[in-house]
Structure 1
C-alpha cells in the first residue's frame, strides 16, 4: 500500500501549495494585486530580461496559452512591456516596465520574508542537500522526456 506522505513528491506538492497561498496572502496584505503565477513570470523576466513568450514558456514550464494570458494581465496592470525585437520585427521581447520594476522590488521584499520563514531552523547544508535532491529528481524527468 502506498502511504501518500512517505514520498517526497507529496511534500513538494504540499509545500508548493502552502507557499503559493502564503505568498498571495502576503501580497494582498500589502495591497499588491499579483498572483503566484504572475510573480513567477515577473521573477523570471527580472532575472532574464528580453525573453520571447516562447522562451518564457520554456523557462517557466507553462504552456504558451497560459503564459500569454498571464502576460496579458501583467501588461494591463502596467507591469510588463511587449516590445518588437529591433533585429527581427516578427519577434516580441518582454521586459518589466518601470512600474513593474518598482512593484517587483516590493514583491521581492515580501517573498524574501517568506523564504526566511520557511528556512528558519534548517541548517544551510540541509538546504543544499534538499536542492541537490530536487534538482536530480527534475533532471530525471527531463532526461525521460528527452529520451536520454
Structure 2
C-alpha cells in the first residue's frame, strides 16, 4: 500500500502548492498583481534575458501555448517586451521591460523573505543534498521514455 506522506513526490507537490499560495498572498499584500507562474517566468527572464518563447517554455516546463499566454499577460502589464531578431524576423526575443525589472526587484525581495522562512532551521549541507537529490530525480524523469 502506498502512503502518500512517505513519498518524496507528495512532499515536493505539497511544498510547491504551499509556496505558490504563500508567494501570491505576499505579493498581493504588497500591492503586486503577479501570479506564481508569472513570477517563475520573470525569474527565468531575469536570469536568461532574450529567450525565445520556445526556450522559455522549455525552461519553465510549460507548453508553448501556456507560456505564450503568460507572456501576453506580462506584456499587457508592461513587464516584458518582445523584439524581433534582426537576422531572422520569425524569431522573437522576450526580455524584462524597465518597469518589469523594477517590479522584479521588489518581487525578488518578497520571494527571498519567503524562501528564508521556508529554509529556516535547515542546514546548508541538508539544503545542498535536497537540491542535488531533486535535480537527480528530475533528470531521471527527463530520461524516462514513458
Aligned partner of residue 112 in structure 1, secondary structure: helix
Deviation at 1:88, TM superposition (A): 1.0
Q: What are the within-5 Å matches in structure 2 for residues 44-63 of structure 1?
A: 44-63=44-63
Residue deviations 1:36-95, cap 9 Å, x none?
010000000010001000000011110001001101100000000011111211111000
Q: Over aligned residue pairs, what C-alpha RMSD do you find?
A: 0.9
Separation in structure 2 between the aligned mates of residue 38 and residue 106 of structure 1, nearest angstrom: 14
* Match of residue 10 from structure 2: 10
| Unpaired stretches in structure 1, ≥5 consecutive residues | none
Runs of 4+ in 1 over 2 A off after TM superposition: none
Match of 2:129 in 1: 129
Instruction: Provide the TM-score with structure 1 as the length reference.
Output: 0.97
TM-score, normalisation: structure 2: 0.98
Which residue does the alignment assign to 1:109?
Answer: 109
- Where in structure 2 are there 5+ consecutive unaligned residues? none
Query: How many residue pairs were aligned?
Result: 146
